[in-house]
């Protein structure tokens, strides 16, 4: 007789092979006797997907049965990268898959390379969302991620003559085996229209008569945990024309136009906004936000209502997390659903709303906070605007009772900003309605409390909490650095650190073991080899493995100071040019690697990319310099490039002017890969210092409490500048600036505004001020590199201290103190 258990797919190499061939033949529709690497990737992915679906079902059946409180993580961006390697590792079937492929004549690594990145996000915030999903699944939390299924992800960066060009990333072109289209899970999302007041049971009631309807279709992306059967869901919404909309349009008789108009609906989820600096008040962006919010909340409420009848239970069963302010319209939407649709009275609904939302902000400065013009909001979502006004009215009344008629503070804390463009302040809204407001590092939280949201902190100190970011060691060691994974496990005698990262501290016991050092250096060498091959393939530049690989990869921003790095490289070049042969022999050879995308409209960032190429051309073609200094720009930096670059780096740079990087997560990934950091005391680096000790990284630059003075007076009252020109800028810096200005690297006119931006009077990010200190840190790195034993010690201690920066720790903290959710482990 057939038992239900017979249905389970097996994971031995023979069964996997059978399934791969099945998918080659029936999914990919190729002959099982002849298929290429890409087709092997497709077939293997479907083989893995089948296994994910089994676990996904079991997990959700288990959640349904046990009805735990669920977390809904709302984020407009997820940078997932590739899924194949991550899935087979989390499923624990990596060796079996490799063997299955091997017997068919394929190599796992080559097949895995076929996959493109899922790049549905810009940078830090989006990759952090992806790391959190991995940790939520691994720690067995009953969580769902919700996001948008953009058809075009973050643009591809190509470099032509040193200039960045953007190309669309139509990532779905070759199919996406990792998603499951739920064509029957759809919701109507409404826009525009009017609000009317009607009588209902003797009461006056507002109703929204919308003007346009669009359909949201669910695409599910299973997220497997490591060392557990739990597989949670990331549900992404795609916009489709609504069938209702159809009927009306067709009845007008204009068939062609109505079909063309239908297509307009789909544009909502078409493209990811690629600028992570400013909120421009664009209608399409607002439509994306509401489309996402409305579909997600209908889905969440439907699930809640299937299991419960009383909305009083909502706070015990549902936690809604706002990943930055992008999904904050959720607050107005839940109020609308409870008041207008479920007919709860305002106070009751408000009480519930205040218990279910939590909020994390990823921005440091007030200017970066999101505002939505009232005119725009009122036309697209008239009822929501009314609700927002009413929330603000109640808040202002409460505030007057607490602080009196202090109009300046009242107007600063108001959710509505009066002024040339009347707007809704999304951060204020989120703070007022959330029970918890999280900063992403200690230093970030401190800034929120003392500057950005000072008044709110005064009002509700208990709301403000620190949840320092983290990254998942599954992707950032196990997937990306298999040699290091093996080495760590060998010396710790266990693989338990993959689920319990604190165990990594055990590496400290071996920090002076010569055999360990030897193997440690060997691993770095292997990874440098892989990176060197990639660099040569990308840029044609051959690099020496004996050189120090010095890397700065992240979005290009003025505050991240890639320009400081480039100026440092020019300085190094000048020094080399002026050295005699003997001195040159003592120089540590360097390969400087820079990578990152500039927002398409960010002129200054684009000029930095061009300058990097111009300097590279000069240096790399100078035969006099040879292997002593190379500069390469890695184009199209993304998650999979990061997986290659981080393991191969000796030194990584994190140069933000103190007080500008809310946390930073790149530093944590490099730390996990035994790469030493050269950094300012900014964001989470402050906590890395606490963990591994200031002796184990290269620190430089103004501290956060010196920055304001330095900006105002050009000098700090804490540490006066030495070796400065009359302009209080080091002469070396002035000289380099002059070289660029005078056209030493060509493109004199083009670089003019870039030079102006760091001229003493304008140098907002303090490049000149920090330059000497930067050069000293660089010199210290050179000196240490010569002493390989010391370097290796520092490298081991970096990895040993990286456990605290696992997203597992972050998630556990959120789960316990913010979301109040418990693990819910699906039985095997």
By the criterion CB under 6 A, which residues form the site for ligand 26V? Answer: 122-125, 128, 273, 275-276, 279, 324, 362-363, 440, 469, 661-665, 683
- C-alpha to C-alpha distance for 208 and 193, rounded to whole angstroms: 7
Residues whose CB falls within 8 Å of the CB of residue 220, separated by 6 or more in sequence, listed in order: 56, 179, 180, 182, 233, 234, 235, 236
Compare residues 128 and 290 and give the one whose CB is closer to ligand 26V: 128
Residue 598 beta carbon to ligand 26V: minimum distance, rounded to whole angstroms: 14
Residue 664 beta carbon to ligand 26V: minimum distance, rounded to whole angstroms: 5
Q: Tell me whether residue 525 is one of the annotated catalytic residues.
A: no
3-state class (DSSP) for residue 781: helix
Residues shown for the chain: 828
Catalytic residue (one of 560, 561, 571, 572): 560
- C-alpha to C-alpha distance for 50 and 234, rounded to whole angstroms: 16
Considering only CA atoms, which of 223, 268, 263, 227 is closest in space to residue 246? 263
- Adjacency order of strands within the sheet including 318-323: 180-191, 212-224, 231-241, 143-148, 70-74, 318-323, 357-360, 436-439, 464-466
Compare residues 63 and 273 and give the one whose CB is closer to ligand 26V: 273
- C-alpha to C-alpha distance for 809 and 802, rounded to whole angstroms: 11
Give the strand pairing for 676-679 and 698-699: parallel
Residue 366 beta carbon to ligand 26V: minimum distance, rounded to whole angstroms: 14
Residue 600 beta carbon to ligand 26V: minimum distance, rounded to whole angstroms: 12
Structure token digits, residue 770: 């920090």
Q: Tell me whether residue 393 is one of the annotated catalytic residues.
A: no
Residues whose CB falls within 8 Å of the CB of residue 687, separated by 6 or more in sequence, listed in order: 441, 442, 468, 804, 805
Compare residues 124 and 648 and give the one whose CB is closer to ligand 26V: 124
Give the end-to-end CA distance of the chain in Å, rounded to a whole number: 23
Catalytic residue (one of 554, 561, 572, 607): 554
Compare residues 437 and 507 and give the one whose CB is closer to ligand 26V: 437
CA 95 from chain center: how many Å?
Answer: 30
- C-alpha to C-alpha distance for 527 and 545, rounded to whole angstroms: 10
Nearest residue to ligand 26V, by Cβ distance, number only: 124
Per the CB < 8 A criterion, the answer to whether 764 and 559 are in contact is no
Residue 497 beta carbon to ligand 26V: minimum distance, rounded to whole angstroms: 23
Residue 682 beta carbon to ligand 26V: minimum distance, rounded to whole angstroms: 9
Residue 128 beta carbon to ligand 26V: minimum distance, rounded to whole angstroms: 4
- C-alpha to C-alpha distance for 554 and 637, rounded to whole angstroms: 8
- C-alpha to C-alpha distance for 26 and 29, rounded to whole angstroms: 5
Compare residues 74 and 217 and give the one whose CB is closer to ligand 26V: 74
- C-alpha to C-alpha distance for 25 and 780, rounded to whole angstroms: 59
Q: Tell me whether residue 669 is one of the annotated catalytic residues.
A: yes
Instruction: Tell me how many helices (H) and strands (E) the chain has.
Output: 33, 24
Burial class of residue 93, CB neighbours in 10 A (0-12, 13-18, 19+): buried
Compare residues 471 and 551 and give the one whose CB is closer to ligand 26V: 471
Partners of 550 in the β-ladder: 592, 651
Residue 476 beta carbon to ligand 26V: minimum distance, rounded to whole angstroms: 14
Catalytic residue (one of 82, 149, 555, 654): 555
3-state class (DSSP) for residue 522: helix
> Phi-psi bin for 636: left (phi > 0), alpha (psi -120 to 50), beta?
left
Angstrom distances, CA of residue 709 to CA of 153, 559, 726: 41, 17, 18
Q: Tell me whether residue 554 is one of the annotated catalytic residues.
A: yes
Residue 728 beta carbon to ligand 26V: minimum distance, rounded to whole angstroms: 29
Give the strand pairing for 357-360 and 78-81: unpaired
- C-alpha to C-alpha distance for 766 and 787, rounded to whole angstroms: 32
Q: What residue ranges in 374-494 does DSSP mark as E strands? A: 416-417, 423-425, 436-439, 464-466
> Phi-psi bin for 67: left (phi > 0), alpha (psi -120 to 50), beta?
left
3-state class (DSSP) for residue 679: strand
Residue 261 beta carbon to ligand 26V: minimum distance, rounded to whole angstroms: 27
Compare residues 129 and 213 and give the one whose CB is closer to ligand 26V: 129
- Residue reference for tokens 């949840």: 467
Catalytic residue (one of 51, 156, 362, 557): 362
Per the CB < 8 A criterion, the answer to whether 414 and 439 are in contact is no
Helices (H), 154-193: none
Residue 57 beta carbon to ligand 26V: minimum distance, rounded to whole angstroms: 32
- The string of DSSP codes covering 737-750 is HHHHHTTTTS-TTT
Catalytic residue (one of 186, 447, 665, 769): 665
Compare residues 75 and 164 and give the one whose CB is closer to ligand 26V: 75
Compare residues 276 and 558 and give the one whose CB is closer to ligand 26V: 276
Q: Cα angle at 590 between 588 and 593, to 5 degrees?
A: 160
Compare residues 260 and 365 and give the one whose CB is closer to ligand 26V: 365
Residue 805 beta carbon to ligand 26V: minimum distance, rounded to whole angstroms: 11
- C-alpha to C-alpha distance for 310 and 532, rounded to whole angstroms: 61
Compare residues 235 and 362 and give the one whose CB is closer to ligand 26V: 362
Angstrom distances, CA of residue 61 to CA of 69, 460, 785: 15, 40, 55
Compare residues 107 and 283 and give the one whose CB is closer to ligand 26V: 283
Per the CB < 8 A criterion, the answer to whether 131 and 816 are in contact is no
- C-alpha to C-alpha distance for 524 and 498, rounded to whole angstroms: 20
Compare residues 466 and 734 and give the one whose CB is closer to ligand 26V: 466
Residue 307 beta carbon to ligand 26V: minimum distance, rounded to whole angstroms: 33
- Catalytic amino acids? 362, 554-555, 560, 665, 669
């Amino acid at each position: 007789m057939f038992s239900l258990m017979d249905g389970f797919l097996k994971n031995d190499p023979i069964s996997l092979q059978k399934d791969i061939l099945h998918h080659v033949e029936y999914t990919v529709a190729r002959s099982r006797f002849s298929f290429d690497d890409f087709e092997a990737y497709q077939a293997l992915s479907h083989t893995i997907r089948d296994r994910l679906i089994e676990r996904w079902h079991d997990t959700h059946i288990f959640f349904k049965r046990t009805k735990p409180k669920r977390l809904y993580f709302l984020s407009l961006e997820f940078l997932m990268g590739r899924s194949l390697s991550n899935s087979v590792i989390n499923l624990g079937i990596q060796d079996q898959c490799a063997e299955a492929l091997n017997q068919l004549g394929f190599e796992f690594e080559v097949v895995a390379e076929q996959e493109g990145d899922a790049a549905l996000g810009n940078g830090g915030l989006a990759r952090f969302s992806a790391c959190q999903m991995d940790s939520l699944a691994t720690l067995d939390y009953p969580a769902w991620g919700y996001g948008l299924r953009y058809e075009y992800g973050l643009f591809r960066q190509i470099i032509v003559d040193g200039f960045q060009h953007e190309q669309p990333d139509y990532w779905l072109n070759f199919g996406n085996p990792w998603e499951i289209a739920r064509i029957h899970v759809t919701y109507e999302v409404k826009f525009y229209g009017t609000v009317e007041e009607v009588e209902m049971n003797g009461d006056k009631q507002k109703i929204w008569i919308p003007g346009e309807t669009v359909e949201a279709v669910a695409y599910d992306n299973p997220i497997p945990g490591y060392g557990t059967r739990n597989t949670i869901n990331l549900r992404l919404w795609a916009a489709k024309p609504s069938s209702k909309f159809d009927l009306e349009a067709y009845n007008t008789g204009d068939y062609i136009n109505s079909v063309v108009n239908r297509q307009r609906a789909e544009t909502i989820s078409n493209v990811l906004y690629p600028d992570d600096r400013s909120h421009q008040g664009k209608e399409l962006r607002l439509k994306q936000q509401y489309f996402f919010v409305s579909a997600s909340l209908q889905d969440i409420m439907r699930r809640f209502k299937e299991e419960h009848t009383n909305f009083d239970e909502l706070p015990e069963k549902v936690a809604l997390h706002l990943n930055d302010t992008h999904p904050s319209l959720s607050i107005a939407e839940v109020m609308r659903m409870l008041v207008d649709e479920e007919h709860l009275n305002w106070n009751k609904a408000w009480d519930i709303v205040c218990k279910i939302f939590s909020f994390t902000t990823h921005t440091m400065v007030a200017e970066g906070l999101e505002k939505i013009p009232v005119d725009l909001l009122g036309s697209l979502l008239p009822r929501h605007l009314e609700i927002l006004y009413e929330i603000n009215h109640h808040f202002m009344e409460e505030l007057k009772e607490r602080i009196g008629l202090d109009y300046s503070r009242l107007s600063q804390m108001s959710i509505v900003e009066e002024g040339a463009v009347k707007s809704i302040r999304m951060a204020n809204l989120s703070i007022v309605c959330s029970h918890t407001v999280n900063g992403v590092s200690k230093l970030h939280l401190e800034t929120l409390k003392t500057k950005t949201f000072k008044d709110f902190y005064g009002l509700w100190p208990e709301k403000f909490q620190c949840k320092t970011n983290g990254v998942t060691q599954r992707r950032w060691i196990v997937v990306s650095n298999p040699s290091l994974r093996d080495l760590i496990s060998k010396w710790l005698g266990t693989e338990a650190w993959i689920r319990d990262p604190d165990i990594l501290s055990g590496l400290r016991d071996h920090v002076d073991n010569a055999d360990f050092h030897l193997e440690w250096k060997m691993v770095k060498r292997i990874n440098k080899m892989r990176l060197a091959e990639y660099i040569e393939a990308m840029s044609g530049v051959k690099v020496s493995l004996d050189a120090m690989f010095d890397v700065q990869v992240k979005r290009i921003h003025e505050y991240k100071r890639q320009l400081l790095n480039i100026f440092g490289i020019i300085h190094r070049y000048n020094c080399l040019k002026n050295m005699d042969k003997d001195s040159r022999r003592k120089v540590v050879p360097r390969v400087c690697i820079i990578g990152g995308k500039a927002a398409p409209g960010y002129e200054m960032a684009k000029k930095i990319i061009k300058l990097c190429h111009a300097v590279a051309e000069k240096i790399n073609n100078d035969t006099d310099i040879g292997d002593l200094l190379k500069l390469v720009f890695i184009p199209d930096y993304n998650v999979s490039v990061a997986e290659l670059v981080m393991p191969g780096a000796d030194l990584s740079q994190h140069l933000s002017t103190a007080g500008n990087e809310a946390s930073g997560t790149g530093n944590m990934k490099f730390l996990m890969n035994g790469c030493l950091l050269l950094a300012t005391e900014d964001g989470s680096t402050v906590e890395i210092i606490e963990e591994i000790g200031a002796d184990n990284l290269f620190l430089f630059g103004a501290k956060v409490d010196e920055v304001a003075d330095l900006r105002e007076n050009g000098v700090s009252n804490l540490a006066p500048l030495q070796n400065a020109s009359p302009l209080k800028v080091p002469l070396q810096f002035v000289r380099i600036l002059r070289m660029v200005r005078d056209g030493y690297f060509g493109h004199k006119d083009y670089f003019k505004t870039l030079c102006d931006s760091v001229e003493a009077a304008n140098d907002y990010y303090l490049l000149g001020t920090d330059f000497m200190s930067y050069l000293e840190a660089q010199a210290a790195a050179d000196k240490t590199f010569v002493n390989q034993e010391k370097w290796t010690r520092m490298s081991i201690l970096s990895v040993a201290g990286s456990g605290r920066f696992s997203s597992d720790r972050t998630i556990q903290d959120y789960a316990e103190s913010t979301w109040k959710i418990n693990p819910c482990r699906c039985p095997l």
